[in-house]
Structure 1
Amino acid sequence: MKNQHTRRQFLGATTALVAGAVVGSNKLFGAPTLVRSLGEKPNSLVKGVQIGVITYSFRDMPDQSAEATLQYVLDSGINAIELMGGPAETFAGAPKNSVDMRAMFPLMRKRRENQTLTDDEQKQLADMEAQMKAYREEVAKWRQSASMTKFEQVRKMYNQAGVTIYGFKPDAFGMQNSDAEIDYGMRAAKTLGANQVTLEHPANDAHTLKLGKMAEKHGIRVGYHGHEQQTPTFWDTALAQSPGNAMNFDLGHYVAAGQPDPLGLIRQKHTRIASMHIKDRQTPAHGKGNLPWGQGDTPLTDVLTLMREQKYTFPATVELEYQVPAGSSSVAEVKKCLNFCRNILA
């Protein structure tokens, strides 16, 4: 507990320095010395396999700031992340979101998985979506003049704590977003140090073509995420359209979709996988559950072993979606997931 307390004190001090000490030549004064005094930095690169985490995994934590999110990542022992848009954009000065995302995410997932929503849940979700639409309009206006300086500060804060940002997932790449917003999102990703942006596959060929071509100009890749609609050919059109298009493959959802050979897909398309989400889901025959790791049907051992043996360099991203047990926290559960991977790869 003492070490965690010291680390929190450090992060507070470093954040203040990062926020206030970038002047003139954009060099930091004072912060590097503090960072070096933190001690050992996280390392989740295991036998050549980069285990990362999507910060969506910490969605149930009360503080969603960039500083708190970094603390969650550090406490999990992870050194590379796919960063959701909220923490970075809030740090950069985006309008505040009044919608309780901790209440909205479970309802969205319930609908996506074709579970029946009660009348009250349907009304609650509809109200939240209306509020989100208005909020997105506010954010779109803010993005028109958003400075990249704050995103540079986020990158420095994370990097100096030992965490790299390989992916960025703001709500800026959908069909409802303007070309200016898409351009902003890709510039922000590059500024954060990411080599990819991620989004749910839009199921629109014209849009994936546009995103791929814009990504090429920015020297970045677009990783398209899928759920139970994933098939072996799910990404083929987008991949053929542009080298800027890639896969944000979800191993667990692929298994829950009843697809029989995830290892074959990975072997075939590994050069086009920008990143892969890992979780432990059941097959349709067993109920498609999202379970604590080691209890489902997802071939985590086989896939991670394949990555190690074939020296695949795309990150395996922990996405915590099973129910956090009473008395635990998402941070503690992500740490368990990392240790599960370590045991496989050791």
Structure 2
Amino acid sequence: MDNQDISRREFLSGSILAAAGLGLVSLPSFGMPAYIKNLGKPNSLFNGVQIGVISYSWRSMPSSAEQVLQYCIDANISAIELMGPSGESFAGAPEAPSRPTGQRSQWTAEQKAEADAYSKKLADWRASVSMNKFIQLRKMYNDAGVKIYAFKPSALGSNNTDAEVDYAFRAAKALGANQATIELPNDAGQTKRLGDIAAKSKIYVGYHGHTQQTPTWWDVALGQSKYNAMNLDMGHYVAAGFDPLPLIEAKHDKIVSMHTKDRKSKENGGANVPWGEGDTPIIAALQLMRKNKYKFPATIELEYDIPAGSDAVKETAKCVEYARKALGA
């Protein structure tokens, strides 16, 4: 079965109907009887394949933890890779100053000093914060039917302290996630550092990539620690000139999550496009996951231009519906 087996007309009509119906769903009232609490909960586990989303998909919209949860419910998504700001703001992180435009080299001395002071303040907060608010956030999401499987705070870089890195994994664990995600560093010393600290919490580091991904790109990091793992982006992998299906089969046991988007191939220009219009074998990949019972989630990352009259939540709902049909659910 290929992308042409789901006709454009069927895809759009089914997705629009689903999005319209899902838009009527709201957060369940906590404290209601159990049979009522089960109503209105999202479910994007289709024939054994978990479809998730990264909250970055809704970057064009307000993104408090509560708002992100509502977007999940409206789009029928029951699992998420949560970006750091939503989770950290909920937990009481110090508010960031307005970020000046342009490169840091173009900032004034005062702007640089303000940014440095905030980084120090945030690092101190991360090193000392209780995990109670993250546990509370996990419960809020779980009670609404949404699992947090990954956390992506800006705490895993080479300039972050060991205490911040350790915090990232402890917070991920408190949220119920089994992974914290970051772009794969070029420095092998940094991936070893992250893998070693991750081992303390038994949380995986899911290394993400863009068009620099190759079949062997993760190998050094994977060889350093069993907690170094792959956050494959198969859309970017296609735009880099590769077929993701052999990689998924060969390294499925190293993949902890897989960003899923449709892009044109390198030969066709690499553009991000609505699902079903590009060269990424989304249907084949999802069906491979179903056939072989792979348990890592397929994470929707919405990067194509949002059409006039729509919004990021409606477009994400279309992707969920596309995946549901591909999986025969």
Q: Same fold (TM over 0.5)?
A: yes
> Residue 67 of structure 1 corresponds to which residue in structure 2?
66
Q: Is the 8 A contact 1:143 1:184 kept in 2?
A: yes
Superposition deviation, residue 144 in structure 1: 2.1
Instruction: Provide closer, same or farther for how the CA distance between residues 257 and 7 of structure 1 changes in structure 2, counting only shifts above 3 A.
Output: same
Deviations 1:220-267 (A, max 9, x none): 1100000010000100000011100000000000001112x3111111
Structure 1 position 283 matched with structure 2 position 302: no
> Residue 238 of structure 1 corresponds to which residue in structure 2?
221
Q: Is the 8 A contact 2:25 2:74 kept in 1?
A: no
Residue identity (%)? 53
> Residue 154 of structure 1 corresponds to which residue in structure 2?
137
Instruction: Provide closer, same or farther for how the CA distance between residues 32 and 194 of structure 1 changes in structure 2, counting only shifts above 3 A.
Output: farther
Output the TM-score relative to the length of structure 1. Answer: 0.83
Superposition deviation, residue 302 in structure 1: 1.2
> Residue 211 of structure 1 corresponds to which residue in structure 2?
194
Equivalent residue of 2:53, what SS? Answer: strand
Distance 1:70 1:214 in 2: 29
Distance 1:32 1:291 in 2: 42
Distance 2:68 2:230 in 1: 25
Task: Report the RMSD for the aligned CA atoms in angstroms.
Answer: 2.4
Pick which of 123-132 and 215-224 moved more. 123-132
Instruction: Provide closer, same or farther for how the CA distance between residues 5 and 133 of structure 1 changes in structure 2, counting only shifts above 3 A.
Output: farther
Q: What is the aligned counterpart of 2:175 among 192, 217, 223?
A: 192
Relative contact order higher in (CA < 8 Å, ≥ 6 apart): 2
Q: Is the 8 A contact 1:99 1:132 kept in 2?
A: no
Instruction: Provide closer, same or farther for how the CA distance between residues 39 and 135 of structure 1 changes in structure 2, counting only shifts above 3 A.
Output: same
> Residue 235 of structure 2 corresponds to which residue in structure 1?
252
Instruction: Provide closer, same or farther for how the CA distance between residues 97 and 291 of structure 1 changes in structure 2, counting only shifts above 3 A.
Output: same
Equivalent residue of 2:276, what SS? Answer: coil
> Residue 14 of structure 2 corresponds to which residue in structure 1?
none
Structure 2 unaligned blocks of 5 or more: 1-19
Equivalent residue of 2:167, what SS? Answer: helix
Equivalent residue of 2:263, what SS? Answer: coil
> Residue 312 of structure 2 corresponds to which residue in structure 1?
330
> Residue 17 of structure 2 corresponds to which residue in structure 1?
none
> Residue 172 of structure 1 corresponds to which residue in structure 2?
155
> Residue 84 of structure 2 corresponds to which residue in structure 1?
85
Equivalent residue of 1:97, what SS? Answer: coil
Q: Is the 8 A contact 2:22 2:74 kept in 1?
A: no
Equivalent residue of 1:215, what SS? Answer: helix
Superposition deviation, residue 200 in structure 1: 0.6
Structure 1 unaligned blocks of 5 or more: 15-30, 105-120
Superposition deviation, residue 124 in structure 1: 9.3
Distance 1:177 1:335 in 2: 36
Distance 1:38 1:7 in 2: 12
> Residue 57 of structure 2 corresponds to which residue in structure 1?
57
Output the TM-score relative to the length of structure 2. Answer: 0.87
Distance 1:299 1:2 in 2: 28
